Every structure is written in C-alpha cells, then in structure tokens.
C-alpha cells in the first residue's frame, strides 16, 4: 500500500506527495500507463486530488485510471498524470537550498536531547534548516514547544508518519519499531523534492556545518554512514564485527554506525534500495536472533547489494569507541552507551560535551518564556470570564 503525506500537518489544502507503491507490479503497471500519456500535475490539481487523503491513500482508488503517480524510480523527478495534457514540468528541486534533518525521539529525556541536537545544528550553519520528525512518537509537550522554538530560531519543521505495512513483519518492542522507521521507509517518508536527508540521533551534538554533508559526493552510493571508531583499544573485546559472522560477511569492509547518515533520496529510489532493504528485513526478521541492532545491522548486512559510502571518521566521535585525542577533530559527538562504565546518558552528556549545559540553559529560557506567555493568556481568559459573570448578576 502507498501513503500520501501532506507537507504540513495543519493545512487543509497543503500539497500531497504520493509515496512509492510497495507492490512492484502495480508500480510498473501505472508507470507504463503514465509514460505513454504522462503530463505535468499542477499544485492545485495535486492538492485537490480526490483520491489523496490526509496521510493515506484509499486502497479502493488504486484502479482509478486518472490516478496521479510520481515516477519515483526515475531521475526526471516529474509528477505526472494521465488525465492532463502538456509537457512535463520539473518540480521545484532546483530551489531547494536547505539542510533537511531527520530524527526520532521517544520519552522526555530523549526529547530533551533532541532539542539540544537541533540547537547545535542551528548554531553551526547559515543555511536554512528543516527538521523532520516521526509524528507517532512525539509527546504533546514537544509538539507544543516546537512552534515556539521554530519562531525563536527561524527554522522549519514537519511531522511525518507512515503506517507499517501489514505484509511486513511486525515488531512488538517500541525501540525496535523506532529502529525500523529509521531505515525501512526512507523512500516513502519524504516528498520527492527533498534530494538529500541527513539522519541525526537525538542524543548527538553537532559541531560542524551540516551543509558539508549535503554537498558531499557519495560516489554513486545511495547513502553514507560513519564507520565505528577503532582507536580506543580497551574496547577491543566489544568489537563484535571483527569476529564470527560479521568478519566473514564484511570481507574487509568497515562496520558502520547508524547514529548519523546522509541519504541521496534520488539515488536511493532509483535503485529501489527501499524495496531491497524491506525484502532482506522480511527474510531475516523471522529469526528472533537476527538483526539485534535492526537499524544498524540491516544496512551493514546489505552492504554488497546497497553500497555504503564511508564518511570521514571525524563526522562521528563517540567516547566509547574513539580515543580522547581524536575528540578535537569531532564534527559530531554521539552519546553512545558504554558497556564498561554503564554511565547514565544525562551524566555523560554534561561531562563529555562542554557546551551541553549552555545549550540546555538556553532552551530552558525559551520554555520559561512560553510558559509565562501561556499563563498570561489563561489569566486574561479568567478575567474576561469574571467580567461576564458580574454583568450577568446585574
């Protein structure tokens, strides 16, 4: 089944973007039909399309001959409809000059980390930034906070969602469901005019301009990940990828960490990387002993079919795996769990990242300003209600 996502969650007539069909046969059938009669789809026609609902596509409309489908597997990036006439018109991809950051968070502690990650991204770039979050797992508190933070720092954000397909093996644990959303649906979560998306873990702090990653040449690979550090020698016994299955499978390649990665969505869709990853996940996930770190093991397992560009090591520094000398070069700092010390993540954040406390204090000031404003609004409402009651008694 496909999914239609509105570009903003609260706009009635927001443009709708149709994700690729999971059913390959249906995709080929409609693509062939559209190729014969393909024409451009205007924004007005796109927004008023009767088969596109808020966040869903009705399955009973799939046989509609006038159904508009974007050819996500082609490089042209056109939106086409068999019911219209005229030459194909390119979407506004050329105008996209922003950094798109995708992240997920669940629970108040990780939402606190998420806000600090966002602030660290904004502090190190002059390029417009748009954040993308999974709507399913954000608390009402963060949803209320985001508009105030966006107004304060001048960024865009959007909440996206995608219903886990019924045919795809289900995960029961919340953490594993989130891991699945990080890797399994990259081709269907975002609009077609988003050329590159950068995933950043919520508990990460950025120290460089993320525009560097946007501009980085991935050498034909659909995505780029940072390999695990190997400079902290006392952790050698925990480097599982150097022995057994992973050593044989990787055949000399590096094992990559999933805390930070950049995705070339055009290339990703063109080679059907999403279908390949979902197919391999479906096969491996039947075994409860497979994919223990789902979001990380799956792309590393598929490295021979879906290539990974290894990002420079400085793009992700983690105290657990990287030595202290390399910290000064770090472009991002990730708060990895340490199996030796088992230090609490909040304690580690304040100890490892010097600027973390300042960022936290700055965000708390915004929270206080928001709370004071809401308190004033409530006070005005109470005063107005009291006045009305007094007049009623007279």
Burial class of residue 378 in the structure, from the number of CB atoms within 10 Å of its CB (0-12 exposed, 13-18 middle, 19+ buried): exposed
Lowest-confidence region among 20-24, 318-322, 370-374:
20-24
Q: Which range, of 59-73, 157-171, 299-313, 354-368, averages the lowest pLDDT?
A: 59-73
Q: CA torsion sign, 43 to 46 to 48 to 54? A: negative
DSSP-derived 3-state class of residue 318: strand
3-18: pLDDT as tens digits: 433 334 443 333 333 3
Contacts by residues 175-183 (CB-CB < 8 Å, ≥ 24 positions apart): 175/106, 176/294, 178/104, 178/106, 178/134, 178/137, 179/293, 179/294, 179/295, 180/281, 180/294, 180/295, 181/104, 181/134, 181/136, 182/104, 182/258, 182/295, 183/258, 183/277, 183/294, 183/295, 183/298, 183/299
What is residue 288's predicted lDDT score, i.e. its pLDDT?
Answer: 85
> pTM of the predicted model, to two decimals?
0.74
Section 172-180 average pLDDT: 93
Tens digit of each residue's pLDDT (9 = 90 or more) over 182-230? 999 999 999 999 999 999 999 999 999 999 999 999 999 999 999 999 9
Structure confidence at residue 73 (pLDDT): 33
CA distances (Å), 133 to each of 14, 37, 181, 266, in order? 18, 36, 11, 20
Q: 240 and 331 in one domain?
A: yes
Assess whether pLDDT exceeds 90 at residue 53: no
| Between 77 and 306, residue with greater pLDDT | 306
Q: What's residue 54's pLDDT?
A: 35
Q: Of 90, 119, 143, which residue constitutes the final position of a domain?
A: 90
Give yes or no: residues 132 and 218 share one domain.
yes
- Examine the fold and report which residue of 55, 90, 125 is the final residue of a domain before the chain moves on: 90
Residues 6+ apart with CB under 8 A from 386: none
Of the residues 57, 90, 123, which one is the last residue of a structural domain? 90
Q: Do 173 and 31 have their domain in common? A: no
290 and 272, same domain (yes or no) = yes
Please tell me whether residues 149 and 292 are part of one structural domain: yes
How much is the average pLDDT of 304-320?
96
Residues 6+ apart with CB under 8 A from 351: none
Total of domains in the chain: 2
Domain assignment of residue 231, given as a range: 94-357
Residue 131 near residue 155, CB atoms below 8 Å? yes
Is residue 264's pLDDT more than 60?
Answer: yes
Is residue 321 one of the residues assigned to a domain?
Answer: yes
How does the average pLDDT of the chain come out, rounded?
Answer: 79
Per-residue confidence band for 382, with pLDDT thresholds at 50, 70 and 90: low
State yes or no: pLDDT of 389 exceeds 90: no
Per-residue pLDDT, 242: 93
Answer whether residue 150 shows pLDDT above 60: yes
231 and 132 share one domain:
yes
Residue range 163-169: average pLDDT?
95
Residues 72 and 114 in one domain: no
Q: In the prediction, which pLDDT does 370 show? A: 86
For residue 204, which phi and psi values (nearest 5 degrees)? -110, 150
Work out the average pLDDT over 64-93.
37
- Token couple for 254: 């590096």
42 and 107 in a single domain? The answer is: no
Q: In terms of pLDDT, which residue wins out, 46 or 341? A: 341
pLDDT of residue 64: 41
Query: What CATH number should be reported for the domain holding residue 292?
Result: 3.90.550.10
- 42 & 99 share domain: no
Contact (Cβ atoms closer than 8 angstroms) between residue 199 and residue 261: yes
Cα angle 337-229-315, degrees, rounded to a multiple of 5:
95
Q: In terms of domains, do 214 and 148 share one?
A: yes
**What's the number of CA atoms in the CB half-sphere (13 Å) around residue 212?**
14
Choose the weakest-confidence range: 63-67, 81-85, 101-105, 302-306: 81-85
């Amino acid at each position: 089944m496909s999914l239609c996502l509105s570009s903003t969650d609260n706009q009635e007539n927001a443009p709708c973007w149709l994700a690729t069909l999971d059913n390959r046969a249906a995709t080929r059938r409609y693509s062939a039909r559209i190729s014969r009669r393909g024409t451009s789809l205007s924004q007005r026609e796109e927004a008023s399309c009767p088969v596109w609902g808020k966040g869903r596509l009705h399955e009973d409309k799939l046989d509609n001959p006038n159904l508009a489908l974007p050819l996500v597997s082609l490089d042209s990036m056109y939106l086409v409809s068999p019911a219209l006439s005229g030459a194909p018109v390119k979407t506004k991809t050329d105008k996209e000059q922003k950094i798109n950051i995708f992240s997920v968070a669940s629970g108040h502690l990780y939402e606190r980390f998420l806000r600090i990650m966002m602030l660290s991204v904004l502090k190190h770039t002059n390029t417009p930034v748009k954040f993308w979050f999974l709507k399913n797992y954000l608390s009402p508190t963060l949803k209320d906070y985001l508009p105030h933070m966006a107004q304060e720092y001048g960024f865009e954000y959007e909440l996206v969602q995608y219903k886990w397909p019924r045919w795809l093996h289900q995960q029961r644990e919340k953490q594993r469901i989130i891991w699945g959303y990080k890797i399994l649906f990259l081709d269907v979560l975002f609009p077609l005019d988003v050329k590159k998306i950068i995933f950043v873990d919520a508990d990460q702090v950025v120290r460089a301009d993320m525009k560097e990653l946007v501009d980085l040449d991935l050498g034909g690979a659909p995505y780029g990940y940072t390999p695990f550090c190997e400079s902290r020698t006392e952790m050698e016994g925990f480097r599982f990828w150097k022995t057994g299955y992973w050593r044989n499978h990787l055949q000399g390649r590096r094992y990559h960490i999933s805390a930070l990665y950049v995705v070339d969505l055009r290339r990703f869709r063109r080679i059907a990387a999403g279908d390949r990853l979902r197919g391999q996940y479906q096969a491996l996930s039947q075994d409860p002993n497979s994919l223990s770190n789902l979001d990380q093991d799956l792309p590393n397992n598929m490295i021979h079919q879906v290539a990974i560009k290894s990002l420079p090591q400085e793009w992700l520094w983690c105290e657990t795996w990287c030595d202290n000398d390399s910290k000064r070069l770090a472009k991002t700092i990730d708060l990895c769990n340490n199996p030796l010390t088992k230090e609490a993540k909040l304690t580690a954040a304040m100890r490892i990242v010097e600027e973390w406390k300042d960022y936290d204090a700055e965000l708390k000031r915004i929270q206080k300003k928001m709370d004071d404003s809401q308190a004033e609004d409530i006070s005005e409402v109470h005063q107005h209600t009291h006045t009305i009651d007094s007049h009623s008694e007279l």
